[in-house]
Amino acid sequence: MTQLSPRQSSRSPSSRSNRRAQVVWMQRLGFGLAIGAIVGFSLAPILWQVLTSVKTTADIAAIPNVYLPRQFTAEHYLEIFRRQPFFNYMLNSFLVASLSTLLCLAIGTPAAYALARLRLPGESALLAGVLIVTLFPYILLFLGLLELVRMFGLANHYLALIVPYTAINLPLTILVMRSFFQQLPRDLEDSAKVDGYNTLQMLWQILLPLTLPALVTTGILAFIAAWNEFIFALTFITRESMKTIPVAVAQLSGTAVFEIPYGALAAATVVGTLPLVVLVLLFQRRIVQGLTAGAVKG
């Protein structure tokens, strides 16, 4: 029998497995550090706003910067509600965003089903038009919408925001819901027709429950877009009691001339963003299902 040399013995299966384990551990460590760096970079502005909202005015104005509050305070949160009817602004945003989202789903879902199941003349042109509208910068529609608002007397009316928000988010709703309807088997519809369901009953009682993740995902995207919109809300609504959250935050002013209330702005930003965070957390499972549905076929 031949004796193994020291070099050959060092390359035994146990040493190779240990080296492979070390490589895997280093890869996992590097991957974790990369993810941590990306998450930290993405969440840093949010964390800075939250910390600024609970700092005292002296800490905010201090030079050099005070990163961690030396003393926590809730004065800025109380200030935004004392200075302006901030809760009323939140209700305005919720009303406008909710109604426009419901209209998007109510109009876009049947339209998506028709495009997914019916053989319509000029279907390719219709889909191309919907896609073009989705990609079109809505800010370019501003002057035309302004003239329409003046013509129909919709200034300082919630419809001046609900109708444009619905029109802007409707193409995305149609495209997303159409892709989900295409993934559903036609056997379900054939069975429902045999059981005596008409088209509306089949859509409401059978197909919509199956597409609930898509409805939740699309609805939340439309809600967030309507909640955060600023230009239309700033121009079409000038009455103080009807302003929305983005406009109210942008128009916060200090108690003195040329004063920038950084603490109040940070607190208003946190309060205005918190409903969206709660909404996403409540429906996060449905959102993940909606985003991943159809990724695997069969």
DSSP letter string, the chain: -PPPPHHHHHT-HHHHHHHHHHHHHHHHHHHHHHHHHHHHHHHHHHHHHHHHHTS-HHHHH-SS---S-SS---HHHHHHHHHS-HHHHHHHHHHHHHHHHHHHHHHHHHHHHHHHHS--TTHHHHHHHHHHHHHS-GGGGHHHHHHHHHHHT-TTSTHHHHHHHHHHHHHHHHHHHHHHHHHS-HHHHHHHHHTT--HHHHIIIIIHHHTHHHHHHHHHHHHHHHHH--HHHHHH---GGG--HHHHHHT---SSTT---HHHHHHHHHHHHHHHHHHHHHTHHHHHHHHHTTSS--
pLDDT at 298: 43
pLDDT at 130: 80
pLDDT at 5: 52
Taking only the tens place, the pLDDT of each residue in 222-257 is: 999 999 999 899 889 888 888 999 998 888 765 545
Q: Over its length of 298 residues, how does the chain's per-residue pLDDT go in tens digits?
A: 445 455 554 556 677 777 888 878 888 888 889 999 998 888 888 888 888 888 888 888 878 877 788 888 888 888 888 878 888 999 999 999 999 999 999 999 888 888 888 777 777 788 888 888 778 787 888 888 888 888 888 888 999 999 999 988 998 888 888 888 888 887 877 787 787 777 778 878 888 788 888 888 888 989 999 999 998 998 898 888 889 999 988 887 655 456 678 888 888 888 888 888 888 888 777 766 665 554 444 4
pLDDT at 199: 75
Distance CA 267, CA 223 (A): 22
CB atoms within 10 A of CB 137: 7
Question: What backbone torsions phi and psi does residue 284 show, to the nearest 5 degrees?
Answer: -65, -35
pLDDT at 291: 59
Count of all residues that appear for the chain in the document: 298
What angle, rounded to 10 degrees, do the helices at 262-282 and 13-53 form? 130
pLDDT at 254: 56
The first and second tokens of residue 187, run together, are 């056997």
The first and second tokens of residue 185, run together, are 């088997």
